[in-house]
A and B are shown apart, each in its own frame.
Chain A
Amino acid sequence: MLGVAIACGLIYGVVVGSFSGQSQWWAAPIKISLGLMISALICLPSLYIFGCLSGSEARPWEMAGLLAGLLMLMTLLLVGFAPVAWLFSQSTESVAWMGALHLLFWLVATAFALRFLHAGYARFHARSSAGLYVWIVIFLLVMLQMTTALRPIVGTADTFLPKDKKFFLDYWFNTMDQKAEAKTQGTTK
């Protein structure tokens, strides 16, 4: 399952990298696959703990299997979105628009993958899903932050990884502010 998830992540990454070309052809696939795996690794212990606290009888490797299944389903769905993403990436030059589109595809894929996780979680006799919902919020935040920690994924930069550290909301607001400022300057000229 992890092998399929990595392969699908690499395929979708090539499509993401096709927007900027050059070094992004290889950098984006690596960052997407690596980011997904690291996010899963960071969140696996807390998934197991929340499971146990909810009364789930799952063993650690069973939780790891559930998480691997989630990643596989998510990346398979992303590959399904890849032709649409490629078409848009060839017909626009806006990094913000492409970023938003990839985020939308990722959200849809993640929503379906989380449904799978929820169904699997219930099979381990968990008394409540509250812990799982908390974990889902943590997992989404970690993955969103990973996109900022490994930036740029859609656009380009001089270095493989960013020089300064930022939280994802901070980064998004800064990027949007810069875009708005550039637009205003362009209009006044």
Chain B
Amino acid sequence: MAHAAELAVLLRGETRAMELWARYPDARRFLLNAAAIVGGAGVYGAAMGWWRAPEQALFAAIKFPPIVLLTTLGNAVLNAMLAPLLGLNISFRQSLSAVLMSFAVAGIILAAFSPLAAFVVWNAPPMTPETIQTWSYNFIKVTHVAAIAFAGVAGNVRLLQLLVEIGGSRQVARRVLVAWLAVNLFLGSRLSWILRPFIGAPHLPVAFVRENALENWSSRCWAWRSRAA
């Protein structure tokens, strides 16, 4: 019960308590936040993959949490160096603690949205090459993007409030947050690309990772752009 109460404090954005947790991080709280991320991202991943096949649900449930955890870790390492340069003097442990709290908020929100995502998928026609031409496919994709974006935004709003509390300056907090968001974007999108598929595609087999997993992401983006032109 105490764990659930601590997670509720994060969701409510009680900055005084969060500041103390960030300033004096401990292993139990690290584990609690990591568990919230693994649980939340795991169940949401399962809901995402379920439309393609039950195996895809299992694969997505396994793959989604490491993406978030690795992004958190990468972000904490890089930003422990960047934050002091931007005016916020925090150690690696404090940086990791703050980013973990932010992603824990996102993880809990994803867990709460996973029954809704599963309900949407349960109501969708089976995934076939014909289905992906219909609006159902786009609707499901937009639903997942909206849910993940909402969870991310809510997590970052809480992080901004925490950074303001730690640094005492809104301007510095904003600068640090932008740097953290940039790292999140590049690291998160790259890791998601390598570990694709999550929703899956009807014309491709169910797979843990694609055979061309390490194909260059930017060159693929460039190819799409050229095709569109």
- Which residues of A pack against B, CB within 8 Å? 41-43, 45-46, 48-49, 52-53, 55-57, 59-60, 138, 142, 145, 148-149, 164-167
Contact = CB atoms under 8 A, between A and B. Distances in A.
B145 interface: no
Given A55-B12, A142-B116, A165-B125, 19 more contacts: A42-B115, A42-B116, A45-B113, A46-B115, A46-B116, A49-B108, A49-B112, A52-B12, A55-B13, A56-B12, A138-B116, A148-B123, A165-B122, A165-B123, A165-B124, A165-B126, A166-B125, A167-B123, A167-B124
B187 interface: no
B217 interface: no
Contacts of B12: 52-53, 55-57
A57 B8 CA distance: 9
A59 B2 CA distance: 12
Contacts of B109: 49, 53
Contacts of B122: 149, 165
Nearest to A50: B112
B11 interface: yes
A178 B150 CA distance: 38
A167 B115 contact: no
A164 B125 contact: yes
A49 B154 CA distance: 11
Contact of A49 (B11, B124, B125, B136): B11
B40 to A, nearest CB: 10
A149 B123 contact: yes
Contact of A46 (B4, B8, B113, B154): B113
Contacts of A57: 12
Interface in B134-193: 136, 139, 154
A43 B116 contact: yes
Given A49-B11, A52-B11, A167 B136 contact: yes
Contact of A48 (B112, B116, B154): B112
Contacts of A166: 123, 125
A187 to B, nearest CB: 32
Contacts of A145: 119, 123
Nearest to B120: A145
B100 interface: no
A49 B126 CA distance: 30
Nearest to A131: B154
A68 B216 CA distance: 52
B111 interface: yes
Contacts of A164: 125
A108 B205 CA distance: 48
23 contacts: A42-B119, A45-B112, A45-B115, A48-B112, A49-B109, A52-B11, A53-B11, A53-B12, A53-B13, A59-B8, A138-B116, A142-B116, A145-B123, A148-B123, A149-B123, A164-B125, A165-B122, A165-B123, A165-B125, A165-B126, A166-B123, A167-B123, A167-B139
Contacts of A43: 115-116
Contacts of B119: 42, 142, 145
Interface in B70-116: 108-109, 111-113, 115-116
A142 B117 CA distance: 11
Nearest to B119: A42
Nearest to B10: A52
